[in-house]
Amino acid sequence: MTAADLAILLQEGEGVTLEYKEALSDSFARELVAFANTVGGRILLGVRDDGTVRGIADSNRLRAQIQDIARNCDPPIKILLQRIGEVTAVTVRESDAKPVQCSDGFFVRQGAMSQKLSREEIRDLFQQVGAIRFDSSICTRFRYPDDFDPDKFSDWLRKSTISQGGSVEDILVNIEAAERSGGKLLFHNAGVLFFAREPRRFFNQAYVTCLLFMGTSKVHILDRKDFAGGVVADIEDSLRFIERNTRTAYRIEKLQREEIPEYPVAALREAITNAVMHRDWFIEGANVFVEIYEDRIEISSPGGLPKGMLPEDLGSKSVRRNPLIADLLHRIAFIEKAGTGIRRMREGAREQGYPEPVFAMDGFFTAVFRPIVAVAGHEEAHETVESAPQVGTKSGPSRDQVRILDKCLQDSSIGELLVLAGRTNRTKFRDQVINPLISAGLIEMTIPDKPRSSKQRYRTTATGRSILENSDKESQS
């Protein structure tokens, strides 16, 4: 730094990367830490707050004091000392081992001030720099064995290649789902997500919401399920929800019937697994969503891309936000460890004649899948479904809709339809399933002027019967 550089800094005024100090004071360590935790900066010793030079005596003692303060930070901070006229300039480098603290705590630079971090801000800073991971942190509220579900563990163990000869506790420690401390078994958050009786008691965000919409927008909900049975069960239940609410066509070739799903099942499974595995579990107010529309399926997870990943890296680079969760899924063959999820989704869809999924990042990471009929204009894709051209058309009902329409060929009560659909909440079922079908003109009330009558029954309309007939023709073709 030259005298000319100093003159410019004195004109700039204090800011994110510049601090004036008349003398070495008790707050000096805080300033060092704040710059190291932000983007680095300079401290000009011997300068008043208004930018006028007061001067400070240069001595070996002063330099030794500054170096000692920097070394006593945790971790030590790298600095450069320079003397320019009557001013001692201390250049602080941004730390490559954040977060840095001094005896007074953790600080960051906010404008011209060094601000002490709150507990939540410290946690966020640790998370941003990867100093703490959600999946390997201890869940202090989990109590073993009271909160442990041995059936979930046994099911996971059967799916894995691990020998079942060892004790449960030893296996849990070896797979890093838990650790021993003071004679107790302490569970990591990943272990809770996989093996707790009720994971959502510990993490409210530990569930997957599956929605079936009428049409192409978020207006009428035909069906909704919240799955909160743990990582493995949530993935499997979400895939079953998709299979139940999308259609399958059939092609007869050489006396063999071949099923043609509306969407690429293997790629969808990969997308749901990735969403649960890579989501940002520190975001407590959001969860994974699986949304089915007439023309697409969207699978979204909170958090966007992990730090270190760029959109152009998708399919060629892998950064695991939750490596322990990934490892537990890898052990039961839900994923490959090489980080090939995005590529497998794309290739798996393309090789079977489906459109490749499209990915969006906007605070959520979203994979969008289109049905096979969306590429029917392409010759090769058309040949794949030539015996079942109705797959994915907007007029076709889902499997659950077909079942309700079929049931209502004979006047049926809402209680009978609840049992058929496997639902329990009468109000939600009426709002999410019955009313949209009435609005679409597919079913009607037998007592329309008394919607809440205990004698109310529902019957399929002529339009609904026509749809049923078309659906039967498709399944027989």
Q: Report pLDDT digits (tens) over 22-71.
A: 999 989 999 999 999 888 889 999 999 999 999 999 999 999 999 999 99
Q: At the topology level of CATH, where does 3-128 sit?
A: 3.30.950
Q: Are 205 and 285 in contact (CB under 8 A)?
A: yes
DSSP symbols for 72-125 = TSBSPPPEEEEEETTEEEEEEPPPSS---EETTEEEEEETTEEEEPPHHHHHHH
pLDDT digits (tens, 9 = 90+) for 362-389: 888 899 999 986 333 333 333 333 333 3
pLDDT, position 275: 93
What is the pTM for the complete model shown? 0.60
More confident call, 471 vs 7: 7
The CA distance from 310 to 315, in Å, is 11
CATH class of 399-476: mainly alpha
Q: How is domain 208-384 classified at the CATH fold level?
A: Heat Shock Protein 90 (3.30.565)
The two domains 3-128 and 399-476 share their CATH topology (first three levels equal): no
Given a cut of 70, is residue 338 above it in pLDDT? no
pLDDT in tens, 262-302: 899 999 999 999 999 989 888 888 999 999 998 999 999 99
Is the model more confident about 308 or about 219?
A: 219
Q: Write out pLDDT tens, residues 184-212.
A: 999 999 999 999 999 999 999 999 999 99
Domain ranges in the chain? 3-128, 150-201, 208-384, 399-476
Query: For the residues 446-470, what does the mean pLDDT come to?
Result: 87
18 CB-side CA count, 13 A? 15
pLDDT given for residue 476 in this prediction: 55
Per-residue tokens: 458: 């529902």
What is the per-residue pLDDT across 109-151, written as a single tens digit (0 to 9) for each?
Answer: 887 889 888 877 776 666 665 556 788 889 999 999 999 999 9
For the stretch 422-435, pLDDT in tens is: 777 888 888 878 88
Q: Which amino acid is at 122?
A: I
The band of 400, judged by pLDDT with boundaries at 50, 70 and 90, is confident
